[in-house]
Amino acid sequence: MIEVNNLCKSFGSKVAVDDLSFKVKKGEVLGFLGPNGAGKSTTMRMVTGYFPPTSGEVSICDINMRTHPEQAKAKIGYLPESAPLYDDMSVKGFLKFTAGIRGLAGSDQKDAVERAIETCFLQKVAYQSIDTLSKGYRHRTCLAQSLLHDPEVLILDEPTDGLDPNQKYEVRELIKRLGESKTILFSTHILEEVEASCTRAVIVDQGRIVADGTPEELRNQSGKDSLQELFRQVTTLDTAA
């Protein structure tokens, strides 16, 4: 479970995240929606312990991120936006390297790597150099590294960004399947992601939560049975003065 209480983050005079509170339960896939610059990635980085909050608390599986960061992070699989890869490694070599960082060795490491390759449909490119991969396979490799230690919680930042329609479909179906047994939080600015993968969604704007509910509840709030219409109603347009 993810629990966020009164989370704030400021960069000088700029308030990026402003008193956010929400929970994500096991078996729930929460879409974290908002326009560019709404504070999505900053929030994700605080939830994973990458950024310290200015104030507020984050708990992962009832473990406080501030007081017990190593134990909390061990529960998380994280796919950051524009996740880095080592281009001179093979897919399997990279996953073995990452598994070693996670403390996996011997048969546990071998089983974890094979499971991640199978889950993310990487069998065809397992021995291929990463610098020769298409963007879709690179993205799947990044996702596979987040699954190696079979985490209870998955934090995915823009998991389908830049993928073609077929690749997006595959990732969305994978998220739905993983969401049956894990706690998943993923950020996106693509509204169709919510309909395709989420059991619930939160919309943020200017660092604050402006809507929270199931996809059906959010559509009903719009008055026009449209998630896009609600998004426009509750978020600030880039063109606004």
d(CA 222, CA 97): 47
d(CA 50, CA 89): 25
Cβ atoms within 10 Å, residue 178: 20
Is the per-residue pLDDT at 135 higher than 90?
no
Is the per-residue pLDDT at 128 higher than 80?
yes
Is the per-residue pLDDT at 126 higher than 80?
yes
Q: Taking a C-beta distance cutoff of 8 angstroms, is the pair 193, 22 a contact?
A: no
Listed ranges 16-30, 162-176, 193-207; the one with the highest mean pLDDT: 16-30
For the segment 91-115, the average pLDDT, to the nearest whole number, is 96
Left, alpha or beta for 12 (phi > 0: left; psi -120 to 50: alpha)? left
Query: How many CA within 13 A on the CB side of residue 202?
Result: 23
pLDDT tens for residues 141-154? 999 999 999 999 99
The pLDDT, as a whole number, for residue 241 is 43
Amino acid present at 34: G
DSSP SS3 for 80: coil
Q: How big is the chain, counted in residues?
A: 241
Closest CA to 37 of 184, 186, 189: 189
Q: What is the DSSP string of 16-70?
A: EEEEEEEEE-TT-EEEEE--TTSSHHHHHHHHTTSS--SEEEEEETTEETTT-HH
For the segment 82-90, the average pLDDT, to the nearest whole number, is 90
| Share of the chain residues as helix, strand and coil, in percent rounded to the nearest 5 | 40, 25, 35
Is the per-residue pLDDT at 229 higher than 70?
yes
Query: Domains, the chain, ranges and CATH?
Result: 1-75+153-241 (3.40.50.300), 84-150 (no CATH)
Q: What is the DSSP string of 143-179?
A: HHHHHTT--SEEEEESTTTT--HHHHHHHHHHHHHHT
pTM over 0.85: yes
For residue 64, name the pLDDT band (cuts at 50, 70, 90).
very high
The pLDDT, as a whole number, for residue 47 is 95
Q: Note the Cα 95 to chain centre separation in Å.
A: 19
Cβ atoms within 10 Å, residue 124: 10
